[in-house]
């Protein structure tokens, strides 16, 4: 069994090779582009791989994505047919995402930006905190990340609503689904948190039409993908006062270009795609166990549904 690692975009292939070798020193690990004999490659571990590069492996049994989001894989028009794709479900990443969501929900809930402005102006001014029990936090996306984050927000006393593609029954969450459920969901929330997967159906979903359906003076937090948002529409909603603030961790182009309007907008908080990440010590054992299971004939764990896109 030979395993190929092909990782781009700000990650070191060597760090991941060392992580997998620490789990099993006997592995035949190869780093792109040093493939060796393509017929020996039975599994590939990828993140933003080179399009067309995977079709050269005739005995490929599994494609392992290094994170939860798999949209970069499906951009490749030459994916090998019939090879299952597995994504990572990482408890540490899930916890980190919930930390990010709770942090920024509380920043808005406790009017932290205004308090910072008062400090800068040397003003001793009190802002009464809002009532969490009267504040609904809405989650666009109720997958692994959305459900876990919603549970942590709910535990702090907030009302929680969620919208997903299909119906879900989650304790403590008022759930909406499908196209008919989007409008009533949006009308109910004070803060909208986007944790959707990126698919053809969700690309550009945060647009002028969606934003106008939110209550006035609401907030938006995006830790999903930058391509969920139509930037000009979000900026217009902020400028008009429809939205009181937006926290953005993901963008169409990363790093965010220096001349982008988000950098200097008074209502925008930018973070450098650091809401949550995967680390070798956490995910290498899971990925290797999945590869070995598939090569034994087991069904892949966390398999991506190709037609659905996640």
Sequence-distant (≥ 6) Cβ neighbours of residue 155 within 8 angstroms: none
How far does the chain reach from its first CA to its final CA, in angstroms? 27
C-alpha dihedral sign at 292, 293, 299, 301: negative
pLDDT in tens, the chain (310 residues): 899 999 986 578 999 999 999 999 999 999 999 999 999 999 999 999 999 999 999 999 999 999 888 998 999 999 999 999 999 999 999 999 999 999 999 999 999 999 999 999 999 999 998 999 999 999 999 999 999 999 999 999 999 999 999 999 999 999 999 999 999 999 999 999 999 999 999 999 999 999 999 999 999 999 999 999 999 999 999 999 999 999 999 999 999 999 999 999 999 999 999 999 889 999 999 999 999 999 999 999 999 988 787 8
Catalytic residue list contains 265: no
Contact 43, 54 (CB under 8 A): no
Structural domain spans, the chain: 2-90+278-296, 91-270
Catalytic residue list contains 273: yes
pLDDT reported for residue 76: 94
Q: Between β-strands 243-248 and 41-47, what pairing exists: parallel, antiparallel or unpaired?
A: unpaired
What is 2-90+278-296's CATH number, 3.20.20.70, 3.90.1170.50, 3.40.50.720, 1.10.8.50?
Answer: 3.40.50.720
Protein fold of 91-270: Rossmann fold (3.40.50)
Catalytic residue among 104, 109, 225, 228: 225
pLDDT reported for residue 9: 63
Catalytic residue among 49, 87, 107, 273: 273
Buried b (16+ CB within 10 A) or exposed e, 285-300: ebbbebbeebeeeeeb
pLDDT reported for residue 67: 85
DSSP classification of residue 207: S
Report the 10 Å Cβ neighbour count for 283: 23
Dihedral angle over CA of 295, 297, 299, 303, nearest 10: 30
Fold match between domain 2-90+278-296 and domain 91-270:
yes
Dihedral angle over CA of 103, 189, 218, 92, nearest 10: 20
DSSP classification of residue 34: -
Integer angstrom CA distances of residue 177 from 60, 101, 165, 182, 194: 37, 21, 5, 7, 15
């Amino acid at each position: 069994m030979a395993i190929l690692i092909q990782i781009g975009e700000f990650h070191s292939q060597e760090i991941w090779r060392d992580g997998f070798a620490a789990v099993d020193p006997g592995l035949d690990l190869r780093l792109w582009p040093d493939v060796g004999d393509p017929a020996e490659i039975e599994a590939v571990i990828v993140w933003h791989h080179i399009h067309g590069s995977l079709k050269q492996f005739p005995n490929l049994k599994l494609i392992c994505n290094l994170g939860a989001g798999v949209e970069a894989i499906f951009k490749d028009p030459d994916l090998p047919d019939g090879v299952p794709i597995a994504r990572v479900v990482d408890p540490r990443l899930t916890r980190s995402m919930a930390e990010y969501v709770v942090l920024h929900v509380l920043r808005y809930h406790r009017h932290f930006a205004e308090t910072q402005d008062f400090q800068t102006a040397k003003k001793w001014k009190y802002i009464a905190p809002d009532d969490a029990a009267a504040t609904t936090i809405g989650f666009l996306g109720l997958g692994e990340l959305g459900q876990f984050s919603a549970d942590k927000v709910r535990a702090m006393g907030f009302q929680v609503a969620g919208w997903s593609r299909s119906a879900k029954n989650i304790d403590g969450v008022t759930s909406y689904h499908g196209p008919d459920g989007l409008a009533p969901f949006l009308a109910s929330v004070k803060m909208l948190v986007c944790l959707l997967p990126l698919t053809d159906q969700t690309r550009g979903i945060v647009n002028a039409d969606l934003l106008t359906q939110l209550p006035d003076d609401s907030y938006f937090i995006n830790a999903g993908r930058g391509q969920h948002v139509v930037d000009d529409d979000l900026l217009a909603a902020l400028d008009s006062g429809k939205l009181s603030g937006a926290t953005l961790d993901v963008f169409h182009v990363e790093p965010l270009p220096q001349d982008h309007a988000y950098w200097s907008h008074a209502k925008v908080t930018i973070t450098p795609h650091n809401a949550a990440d995967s680390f070798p010590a956490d995910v290498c054992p899971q990925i290797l166990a999945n590869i070995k299971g598939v090569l034994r004939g087991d069904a892949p764990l966390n398999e991506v549904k190709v037609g659905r896109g996640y």
